[in-house]
């Protein structure tokens, strides 16, 4: 059901990521002054990341485009007693086109990403869950992070 994304999927990956931001809403995820140039920048990053070993993008095909996608990345942080090798995974951009939801595509993508994280020796995988997806992630073993999430925007 899932497959690794290819360069040919980039326009659809950009479309799905835009849907994600529409769903999240608010000025943080969809600021009024954003314009559309972020889509070109996103396409360039996809072009680069699809060839790098620290990124894995899984997709599910729909009838006329992609039905769903999910992105996994691994960062090398500094090891510590809570992180023996410092390899931290991140799940980014899990999104299913509204016309394909409730078919198990998100779960299939997440299980594939979790296998990849295991194979890459990630000691932890972080994600930010939407309210709708949180129950799925908890069923797959995700729990509350011990650190509060804060951000800074220059």
b or e along 63-88 (b: 16 or more beta carbons within 10 Å of the residue's beta carbon)? Answer: eeebbbbbbbbbeeeeeeeeeeeebb
Q: Which CATH architecture has domain 2-139?
A: 3-Layer(aba) Sandwich (3.40)
Spans of all domains in the chain: 2-139
Sequence-ordered list of residues with C-beta below 8 angstroms from that of 74, at least 6 positions apart, any chain: 54, 55, 87, 88, 89, 90, 117, 120, 122
Q: What is the pLDDT of residues 29-66, one digit of tens each?
A: 555 555 668 899 999 999 999 999 999 999 999 999 99
Give pLDDT, residue 70.
97
Give pLDDT, residue 131.
84
In contact, 47 and 10? CB cutoff 8 Å:
yes
Low-confidence ranges of the chain (pLDDT < 70): 22-36
* Phi, psi dihedral angles at 74 (to 5 degrees): -125, 135
Give pLDDT, residue 27.
54
Give pLDDT, residue 139.
95
Query: Both tokens of residue 28?
Result: 């943080």
The owner of tokens 């899932």 is: 2
């Amino acid at each position: 059901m899932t497959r690794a994304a290819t360069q040919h999927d980039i326009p659809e990956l950009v479309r799905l990521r835009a849907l994600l931001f529409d769903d999240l809403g608010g000025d943080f995820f969809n600021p009024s002054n954003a314009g559309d140039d972020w889509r070109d920048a996103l396409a360039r990053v996809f072009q680069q990341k699809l060839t790098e070993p620290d990124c894995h993008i899984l997709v599910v095909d729909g009838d006329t485009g992609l039905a769903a996608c999910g992105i996994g990345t691994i960062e090398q942080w500094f090891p510590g007693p809570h992180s023996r090798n410092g390899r931290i995974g991140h799940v980014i951009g899990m999104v299913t086109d509204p016309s394909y939801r409730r078919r198990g595509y998100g779960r299939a993508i997440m299980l594939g990403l979790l296998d990849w994280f295991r194979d890459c020796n990630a000691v932890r995988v972080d994600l930010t869950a939407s309210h709708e997806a949180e129950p799925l992630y908890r069923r797959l073993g995700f729990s509350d992070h011990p650190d509060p999430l804060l951000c800074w925007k220059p």
